[in-house]
Amino acid sequence: MKPLVSVGALGGTIAMTTTETGAVTPALDAEDLLAPVPGLDALAEVTSRSLANLPSPSILPSHILAALDYAKEMVDGGAAGVVLTHGTDTLEETAYFLDLLWDREEPIVLTGAMRGANLPGADGPANLLAAIATAIDPAVRGMGTLVVLDDTIHLARLVSKTHSTAVSAFQSPGWGPIGRIVEGRVRLMYKPATTFPALPVPGPHEIQIPVIQSPLGDEGRWAYGLALTNPHALVIEASGVGHLSMRTADACEQLVTDGLLVAMVTRTGSGSTTEHSYAYPGSEEDLIARGIIPGGFLTGRKLRILLHILTSAGMDREEIISEVHRRGQ
């Protein structure tokens, strides 16, 4: 018997075709996406559903929660895994959002495309086939949410879109993919050393957590300004291993004293924040002592998703710090 796999379509370039200007726009539904995928019949029994058809910067928590419900319904109905198609721009955020909430052994695999469906060398069908092959492979059971593009398999918590146009845009900076698709089959090289229990599912409300970068010459004004919008937390992309200017450090300390959750990540795009490598005003050791929460290996946009789910669950500051510590390392 062939394994059952369910494909939920959310939109993105994979579902776009060209307009008269040559630019692409949403056009295809879930069934259209599956039609040009070669060899599907031999691989799996596939069901599909169109969940949305949006460019991914417009995906909201409500769409992600609808995709989560769809995935649960499909797995409870016997699917070996679920594939979600999604725009590549924010795919890593939806993948991590789902990863934090997913409580089943069967994988959710996100994929998309860098080239529109009717452009030369369209990568959508190959990515979809690779994602389906991954979703049904027993080797990835229990690994949560994965991202498959360009024949590489990535963990949701590590993957980033690292190039604006390349077909090989998806990388796990500093770590690499955990596996590859070769001759249509999954070849898994690594398994995550740690997996985490699912977090409580938040409501479909807005994510009120801004992410700002702290570049040369930043003196903390923006952090103060954003605090006036009553965010649930603030994420700062700090330099190096978690460094801010002395003035920005003072601003952040004031915000922490005022009761705001302020967290930081490295803006370098790879590696983690540290805890005791540097000791000077604005260093990571100093910032942590002042109550700023280090995000470890998470990018700013992923730490934002984690903080959204933790604050939505009503956790207190100490619980949030310990979850960020666990999940960021």
When binding is defined by CB under 6 A, the residue of 50, 53, 56, 266 that contacts ligand ASP is 56
Total of residues contacting ligand ASP (CB under 6 A): 10
Give min distance, CB of 106 to ligand ASP, in A. Answer: 25
**From 29-37, 87-95, 121-129, 282-290, span contacting ligand ASP (CB under 6 A):** 87-95
Q: Which segments within 86-233 are labelled E, that is strand? A: 108-111, 145-149, 152-155, 160-161, 170-171, 179-182, 185-188, 211-213
The site string for ligand ASP over 212-251 (x = CB under 6 A, - otherwise) reads ----------------------------------------
How long a stretch of residues is the chain?
Answer: 329
The one among 3, 36, 55, 240 contacting ligand ASP by CB under 6 A? 55
Q: How far is the CB of 117 from ligand ASP (least distance, A)?
A: 11
> Residue 106 is which amino acid?
E
Q: Look-up: residue for tokens 């040009």?
A: 36
Lay out the site mask for ligand ASP across 105-124 (x = CB under 6 A, - = otherwise). Answer: -------x-x----------
* Residue 89 contacts ligand ASP per CB under 6 A: yes
Q: Which is nearer to ligand ASP, 166 or 279 (CB)?
A: 166
User: Three-state DSSP class for 310?
Assistant: helix
Binding segment toward ligand ASP, per CB under 6 A, in 85-93, 100-108, 121-129, 286-294: 85-93
Residue with smaller CB distance to ligand ASP, 117 or 233? 117
Geometric angle at alpha carbon 31, from 103 and 157, rounded to 5°? 30
DSSP 35-91: TT-TTHHHH-EEEEEEEEEE-GGG--HHHHHHHHHHHHHHHHTT-SEEEEE--SSSH
Specify the residue, 89 or 137, whose C-beta has the smaller distance to ligand ASP.
Answer: 89
Q: Between β-strands 160-161 and 170-171, what pairing exists: parallel, antiparallel or unpaired?
A: antiparallel
Residue whose CB is less far from ligand ASP, 116 or 177: 116
If the CB atoms of residues 51 and 199 are measured against ligand ASP, the closer one turns out to be: 51
Closer to ligand ASP by CB, 88 or 245: give it.
Answer: 88
Q: Check binding of 145 to ligand ASP (CB under 6 A).
A: no
Contact between 12 and ligand ASP per CB under 6 A? yes
* Structural tokens at position 309: 């789910």
Q: Please, what is the minimum distance in Å from the beta carbon of residue 287 to ligand ASP?
A: 33
Q: Which uninterrupted H or E stretch holds 7?
A: strand 4-11
- Helix 61-76 and helix 91-101: axis angle, to 10°? 50
> In angstroms, rounded to a whole number, what is the distance separating the alpha carbons of residues 286 and 304?
22
Distance CA 316, CA 310 (A): 9
Instruction: Determine the interface stretch with ligand ASP among 84-92, 136-144, 185-193, 283-291 (rule: CB under 6 A).
Output: 84-92
- Do β-strands 185-188 and 234-238 pair in parallel, antiparallel, or remain unpaired? unpaired
Distance of alpha carbon 246 from alpha carbon 220, whole angstroms: 9
CB of 11 to ligand ASP, least distance (A): 6
Q: Does 88 contact ligand ASP by CB under 6 A? A: yes
Q: Could you give the residue numbers annotated as active site?
A: 13
Which residues would be at the binding site for ligand ASP (CB under 6 A)?
A: 11-13, 55-56, 87-89, 112, 114
